[in-house]
Amino acid sequence: MRLSSDVLFGLLSEKYHLERFGKGVRRQELSLPVFWQRGGEARKGSVYIAHAGDLPSRPPEDCIFICDGTRPPKVWNMWPCDVIYVTDSHEGLINIFNTVQQVLDRLISWETHMQRLQTTGASIRDLVEESIPIFDNRITVCDYELRILATCEIDEDDPEGGVRMYDKLKQVPAEHIPSMINGRTSAIRNREPYFYNTLKGKETYCINFYLGDIYIGSCSLQEQVHALAPHDLDLFQVFAEYVRGTLALQARSVGNQLVTARTVFEQLLSGYPVSQSDMNHALKLIDLNLGERGIEGHKWCCVVIQNTHNGGALPEGYLCTTVESILPNATALVYNDAIVAYCLIKNEGHRQAEICDPLQAYLADMGFKAGISRTFLDSFHARDYYRQALATLETGFECDPDRSWYLFGDYALDYMLLRCCGEFSTEMMVPPELVRLYRRSSTDVDYIETLRTFLDNDCRITQTANVLYLHRTTMVKRLEKMREHVNLDDPDRRLYLRMCLHLPDIEQTLEACSDVS
């Protein structure tokens, strides 16, 4: 596990009188102890047991020597390493080795259990209870509204004054409220660990947790059985990392304490209103993982996954987690017995490469089908594009039941032939290539009208030129430019484009799409 030499020094001080030489070893992965071989080569992160007389003449960096015998030379004080000198040991190097081994084994066992608890979805209480023997002081974990999630106290019934879990408190004790509330505004801005004193003068070490700029809670270690030592603070930072991870997971999956992307999408799918501030709050959490370009450099896409053969309820947690691991920057939830995933792909990205290809093997293994919407920018339209993805799935399954995934653009014509625009607005039916073509139009050349006339005249160049009062050569040049934006070789695509060009208010729709895209 990642430790500093402060931890070893502090825990060994409970048995030995010690002196330290060197500038210390920062937190890093420390190995289990080995005996130092005189003349050997020291390795970074190693813990060596040695006689002081066998120490190397040139101190190596970033390793720890624990020794007895004569006092180490003063040159060690100038070097970025650590020598822990046992001044009163009469047990020999073997017993020192065994003691160090026991200390490290205890810490490694603790961290192993903490890892297991976190990966199995254990509660904050479980993390605190597992850590009581390590700190033997009061531990408290609070959420962002000062609700106590877990705490431990001195057991007054224990004659030795041991610490146990305490279940009675649901909020911060009344005597602690003034000091916490009065300093809360400034305290929650502390990105680094800090100290504060309670009314009883007990020193408390506190660490705040954030998701981006959003404060989600804190944990604190208060001296109750014994005073806080440097190694306590170092180990408490390890503990805090597990609490932070668990709080972040709970905030994202449960959503009862924070507004997250999942809770926002659930509200939109259910038809409930979402405020702009809640949406901004949720998107800020997503923005943290998108690099320098952020959400502005991405577009949304909705994926609906169903078991089209057997139906039935889905094992929500497992399936959603799996889909989120497959799709880029995805938020997945279960809605109406389907997995609904909203994912962000880069503006220059393509659904085929970023969504369809990664999903292919998963869908085949599970016997699932997926409908995939067009990309969109406004997350408030999440429900509209869910309906688009669902309609794509249903239409695609009717037309090509042997396929695993269906893109809306591939089945938009089939949908229109079956349902015209169905439940969707004209804006949602218009393909992007018509919007691009509309942008190329000017007062001199109306590419939309040219395309409509060309399709209405069965793609006959001369006949179209006559209708538009153009020279045939001019018409051919226009077609060359139009082909840069639209596919005129596929008969189904031509029919789809022709139907779109005859939808009501198509000109106003293209103008609106052009303004926001």
CA 21 to chain centroid = 42
Mean pLDDT score across all residues of the chain: 84
DSSP 234-300: HHHHHHHHHHHHHHHHHHHHT-SSS--HHHHHHHHHTT----HHHHHHHHHHHHTTSTTTTGGGEEE
Which of 83-92, 281-290, 345-354, 465-474 shows the lowest per-residue confidence on average (mean pLDDT)? 281-290
Contacting residues for 113 by C-beta, under 8 A, at least 6 apart: 130
Predicted confidence (pLDDT) at residue 312 exceeds the cutoff of 60: no
Predicted confidence (pLDDT) at residue 278 exceeds the cutoff of 70: yes
Instruction: Report residue 119's pLDDT band, with 50, 70 and 90 as the boundaries.
Output: confident
Please check whether residue 439 is in contact with residue 508, taking contact to mean a CB–CB distance below 8 angstroms. Answer: no
- The tokens for 173 are 């004790």
Please check whether residue 306 is in contact with residue 368, taking contact to mean a CB–CB distance below 8 angstroms. Answer: yes
Predicted confidence (pLDDT) at residue 293 exceeds the cutoff of 90: no
Calculate what percentage of the chain has a pLDDT beyond 90.
Answer: 38
Which CATH code for domain 2-115?
A: 3.40.1390
Instruction: Name the fold adopted by 122-253.
Output: Beta-Lactamase (3.30.450)
Distance CA 321, CA 446 (A): 49
Least Cα distance to 66 among 53, 82, 90, 78 occurs for 82
- The tokens for 461 are 């160049």
Annotated domain spans of the chain: 2-115, 122-253, 292-415, 432-516
> Count of H helices and E strands in the chain?
20, 18
Distance CA 200, CA 267 (A): 46
Distance CA 70, CA 91 (A): 15
Pick the CATH number of 292-415 from 3.40.50.1860, 3.20.20.140, 3.30.70.270, 3.40.718.10: 3.30.70.270
Which of 98-107, 114-123, 177-186, 242-251 shows the lowest per-residue confidence on average (mean pLDDT)? 177-186
Query: What's the pLDDT tens digit per position in 211-268?
Result: 766 788 899 998 888 889 989 999 999 999 999 888 876 664 334 446 778 889 999 9
What average pLDDT score do residues 101-124 get? 87
Query: What's the pLDDT tens digit per position in 147-192?
Result: 678 888 777 666 665 677 765 544 445 445 445 444 454 567 788 8
What is the layout of strands, in order, in the sheet containing 64-68? Answer: 18-21, 82-86, 64-68, 47-51, 34-35
Query: Given this model, what pLDDT does residue 171 score?
Result: 46
Least Cα distance to 18 among 169, 231, 191, 218 occurs for 231
Highest mean pLDDT among 33-47, 119-133, 331-345: 331-345
Least Cα distance to 2 among 107, 113, 73 occurs for 107
What average pLDDT score do residues 426-446 get? 90
In this structure, the dihedral spanned by the alpha carbons of residues 440, 441, 445 and 447, taken in order and rounded to 10 degrees, is 90
Query: Given this model, what pLDDT does residue 202 score?
Result: 77
Contacting residues for 338 by C-beta, under 8 A, at least 6 apart: 304, 305, 306, 314, 390
DSSP 18-84: EEEESS---SEEPPPPEEPPTT----TT-EEEEEGGGS-SSPPSS-EEEEESSPPPGGGGGSSSEEE
Query: Given this model, what pLDDT does residue 379 score?
Result: 94
Least Cα distance to 237 among 515, 499, 26 occurs for 26
Query: Given this model, what pLDDT does residue 454 score?
Result: 96
What average pLDDT score do residues 15-41 get? 83
What average pLDDT score do residues 117-134 get? 86
Predicted confidence (pLDDT) at residue 59 exceeds the cutoff of 60: yes
The larger pLDDT score, comparing residue 6 to residue 393, is at: 393
Query: Given this model, what pLDDT does residue 174 score?
Result: 47
Distance CA 178, CA 182 (A): 6
Burial (CB count <10 Å: 0-12, 13-18, 19+), residue 365: exposed
Q: Scanning the structure block, which residue is given the tokens 């198509």? A: 506
Calculate what percentage of the chain has a pLDDT beyond 70.
Answer: 86
What average pLDDT score do residues 304-309 get? 84
Partners of 215 in the beta sheet?
A: 210
What average pLDDT score do residues 102-118 get? 90
Give the other-Cβ count within 10 Å of 299's Cβ.
17
Highest mean pLDDT among 36-40, 224-228, 316-320, 472-476: 472-476
Q: Calculate the alpha carbon distances from 224 to 89, 130, 151, 161 in Å.
A: 31, 18, 13, 10
Distance CA 442, CA 450 (A): 12
Query: Given this model, what pLDDT does residue 316 score?
Result: 65
